[in-house]
Amino acid sequence: MHIDILTLFPQMFDSPFGASIFKRAIDSKLVSVSLHNIRDHTHDKHRTVDDYAYGGGAGMILKPEPIFEAVAAIKATIKEGAEKLPVILLTPQGRRFCQEVAGELAGYSRLVLICGRYEGVDERVRQHLATDEISIGDYVLSGGELAAMVVVDAVVRLLPGVLGSAASAADDSHTSGLLEYPQYTRPPLYKGWSVPAVLLSGDHARIAKWRHEQAIQRTRQRRPELLEKIDLP
């Protein structure tokens, strides 16, 4: 997968993309990321990216031209299917991001992510450039950058080959619609707290049953609304 990210702050992405699973995914060429500074697509001396809101009000609005031009420059490098390219605006007004949306985005071979600033983006970007709008939750961030990192992380770990084993993603909280069951590692006894005996039993069928029950119980206690969305066997 190739991901193009349009932002006013490309340097914000250095550290999350330079570590851990993500770095391995890039090094092994399963994913590539290009960061595009929106400011590089301005033409005036002051490299202006924002302006006052028509009608008044506090806060500056991102101008449409540099954003349209940045996306056009990306599309110009694509040989086939540029008209179908998903162009996603990160904004608190977007549809709510969740594991299902991550799975949907993981099905594309390319994504363009536009990081808005919280004061706003000219409406014409939303109406005539973006094909989708995503929010990562009901709170306001200063910009779409952190949201883009969240989206990229959740999507990239679903790409085939990125995680060590296929099973590690399948068992995650939310993949099944349930929260994950409790996990333990050695030592079996720590400060008087023991690992549940069933996990030491070697009986794989019993372990699977226990984990499923625990996942349901935990989901019922913490996120009961999730249970309404799934069919339990």
Query: In the complex, which residues of this chain contact ligand 6GU (CB under 6 A)?
Result: 90-92, 118, 134-137, 139-141, 143-144, 147
The nearest distance, CB 88 to ligand 6GU, in angstroms, is: 9
Beta carbon nearer to ligand 6GU, 16 or 143: 143
Beta carbon nearer to ligand 6GU, 102 or 141: 141
Beta carbon nearer to ligand 6GU, 151 or 163: 151
* Minimal CB distance residue for ligand 6GU: 147
Spatial contact of 60 and 32, defined as CB atoms under 8 Å apart:
no
Specify which residues 118 forms β-bridges with.
none
The nearest distance, CB 131 to ligand 6GU, in angstroms, is: 15
Look up residue 150 and give its two tokens.
């969240």
Residue 106, C-beta contacts closer than 8 angstroms, at least 6 positions apart: 1, 155, 158, 159
Specify which residues 35 forms β-bridges with.
5
Beta carbon nearer to ligand 6GU, 141 or 179: 141
Q: What burial letters (b/e) apply to 82-113, b meaning 16+ CB within 10 Å?
A: eeebbbbbbbbebeebebebbeebbeeebbbb
Round to whole Å and give the CA distance between 83 and 60: 30
Residues catalogued as catalytic = 92, 119, 157, 172
The nearest distance, CB 148 to ligand 6GU, in angstroms, is: 7
The nearest distance, CB 78 to ligand 6GU, in angstroms, is: 24
Round to whole Å and give the CA distance between 115 and 37: 10
